[in-house]
Amino acid sequence: MDADIVIVGAGSAGCVLANRLSADPSLKVTLIEAGGAGGHPYTRIPAAYARLMEHRGLTWGYRTTPDPESGNRAILYPRGRGLGGSSAINGMIHIRGQPQDYDRWAQKGCLGWSYDDLVPYFRRSERYEAARDPERGRDGAVAVEQVIDRGPLLEAFIAAAQAMGLPYLEDYNGRVQDGVAWTQQARGGRWRSSAKTAYLDPAIGRPNLTVITEALCRRVMVEGGRARGVEIERAGRRETISAARGVVLAAGAIGSPQILQLSGIGPGGLLARHGIPVLHDLPGVGRNLQDHYLVRMAWRVRNVGTANERSRGLRLAWEVAKWAFGGRGILTCSPGMILCFPRSREGLESPDIQAVVAPGSWRQGTFGALEDEPGVSMGVWQHRPESVGEVEIVSPDPAAAPSIRPGYLTAEADRRALLWGIRFCRRWIGQTPLDPYRGDETLPGAEAESDEALLAFARAYGSTTYHPCGTCRMGPEGDALAVLDPGLRVRGLGALWVADASSFPDMISANTNATVYALAEKASDLIRNDLRAAPAP
């Protein structure tokens, strides 16, 4: 099978690239996805995310390699598998992050990646019809709406944050993030808006776009210093797909470095240990893994209903009816219905903490089943962690899950910031507007007060916030660990790009999906420019 461009991975970035690149009818594009064709009903219902995190058919089933700083636990590490990727299973929180994040990228030598450079791509990727800010997109691809299932408990949380001096933000996706706000979701009415529905479905009928599912990428084929295609495996058979103009990896922060390493592109010592011929010794592949480390706290609630009770029996039937006929109710919910952005200390240029509120509480603080009694939960994480980890293959078998070591809490600054965030959540819920509703703290419990006790709780219960990035990071010439140049081209090879969250130079102050959309939009322009500069064979 022949193509001009082969895209590996039909997740958030891959669906964008497939749409934008196949818009050129002269370009033959093939999109390869290891998972299925999608369409599971849970991927369309917003609140069904809780049922998807361990769904073996829709995720890769990853877990982290146990580490002492995170309780020696193999932490569940969901990554979407199937058309739409993680955008089909995530919590739908749509947030750009702070302008300083991207200006820092540019200052590090990634020219063309400042916030002003990215605003047109954020606008192109989003359809936020309530926008007042001209820098927001009103007619882009991904539907964005504010949460609609609010109620007196959540309203009291907004008032409580204001009582602490935090301003109310009408739109946190502008240039100022300090304050408290209702969450914006990647949702259109009753339905999740995913990369599949927003980007791939509108393009799927194009004669120059081929989509191959249930196909595991074994390696990128490299000849003469450039990518020539990929080897895949489907239905037990190996096939090759040639790429006359190039290959784009969009398999995510775990998948893209894994494929490069399997292809002989990565740290030479690692590849040699697994008997993989070293085609290109690139030490940064799989390094620089960063992720937000989430700690979730919980309280009992009185005098008001919560999602815990509304998700059972006849109440659940009523919620289903509200969702089906009016696009309202708890089935439209995200894991965070309110977002708050405080600063943990004086002298910071911008907020360094994100806290979220959900009108329900999970058993043992983990997704899966809500508690029986009324409860509310608050989650908190540090925006820009200093801790870094790595992703490494453990076998030359592409079906073998790689080792994922996020390195959570290895940096002292991260531990200090998280402790501040936990105590901030306690102060927030302790404000007067919440007096009518606040019950006892159940997780970690009021007895956990010292730094040692709170860190022990964080290590025992903390988890990923599903925001891995940086494992094929871009950087300037001379950066020994930069896998990509600012054009997203793999250094030292031709006709090979990486365009997904692995390309981030470092972590942003946000959930990552909105930025992946913008990055992929920009990547489509960069790749088209490269193709125009290189004559077709």
Taking alpha carbons only, the member of 209, 44, 12, 28 closest to residue 125 is: 12
All residues at 6 or more sequence positions from 255 whose CB lies less than 8 Å from its CB, including other chains: 8, 9, 34, 79, 249
Q: Tell me if 387 sits within 8 A of 408, measured CB to CB.
A: yes
Looking up tokens 């497939």, which residue turns up? 18
Tell me the CA distances in angstroms from 90 to 9, 63, 84, 325, one per residue in order.
Answer: 17, 17, 10, 24
Residue type, 99: P
Q: Which of 149, 160, 391, 409 is nearest to 286 (CA)?
A: 391
> 444 with 297: CB under 8 angstroms?
yes
pLDDT in tens, 108-150: 999 999 999 999 999 999 999 999 999 999 999 999 999 999 9
Catalytic site positions = 467
Assess contact for 124 and 198: CB atoms under 8 A.
no
Say what the pLDDT of residue 340 is: 98
146's CB contacts (< 8 A; 6+ apart) are: 130, 182, 183, 184, 185
If we measure between CA atoms, which residue out of 117, 139, 121 comes closest to residue 17? 121
C-beta separation of 321 from 115 below 8 A: no
Say which DSSP state 363 is in: G
Q: What is the pLDDT of residues 30-77, one digit of tens each?
A: 999 999 998 899 999 999 998 898 898 999 999 999 999 999 999 999
pLDDT given for residue 144 in this prediction: 98
Of 55, 101, 61, 66, nearest in space to 407 by CA? 66
CA distance 94 to 198: 14
Q: What is the 3-state secondary structure (H, E, C) of 123-159?
A: HHHEECCCCCCCCCCCCCCEECEECCCCCHHHHHHHH
- Read off φ and ψ for residue 419, nearest 5 degrees: -60, -45
The H-or-E segment that residue 121 falls in is helix 115-125
Q: What is the structure's pLDDT at 366?
A: 65
The total number of structural domains that make up the chain: 1
Name residue 299's beta-bridge partners: 376, 441
Half-sphere exposure of 38 (CA within 13 A, CB side): 24
Q: What is the pLDDT of residue 367?
A: 65
pLDDT, position 90: 97
Measured between alpha carbons, how far is 247 from 496 in angstroms, rounded to an integer? 5
- Structural domain that includes position 16: 2-533
Torsion angle of alpha carbons 423, 427, 428, 432, nearest 10°?
170
Question: How much is the pTM?
Answer: 0.98
CA distance 85 to 33: 9
Whole-number pLDDT of residue 363? 80
- Please report, in tens digits, the pLDDT of each residue of the chain (537 residues total): 799 999 999 999 999 999 999 999 999 999 999 999 988 999 999 999 988 988 989 999 999 999 999 999 999 999 999 999 999 999 999 999 999 999 999 999 999 999 999 999 999 999 999 999 999 999 999 999 999 999 999 999 999 999 999 999 999 999 999 999 999 999 999 999 999 999 999 999 999 999 999 999 999 999 999 999 999 999 999 999 999 999 999 999 999 999 999 999 999 999 999 999 999 999 999 999 999 999 999 999 999 999 999 988 899 899 999 999 999 999 999 999 999 999 999 999 999 999 999 999 988 756 668 898 999 999 999 999 999 999 999 999 999 999 999 999 999 999 999 999 999 999 999 999 999 999 999 999 999 999 999 999 999 999 999 999 999 999 999 999 999 999 999 999 999 999 999 999 999 999 999 999 999 999 999 999 999 998 777
What is the domain-level CATH number for residue 294?
3.50.50.60
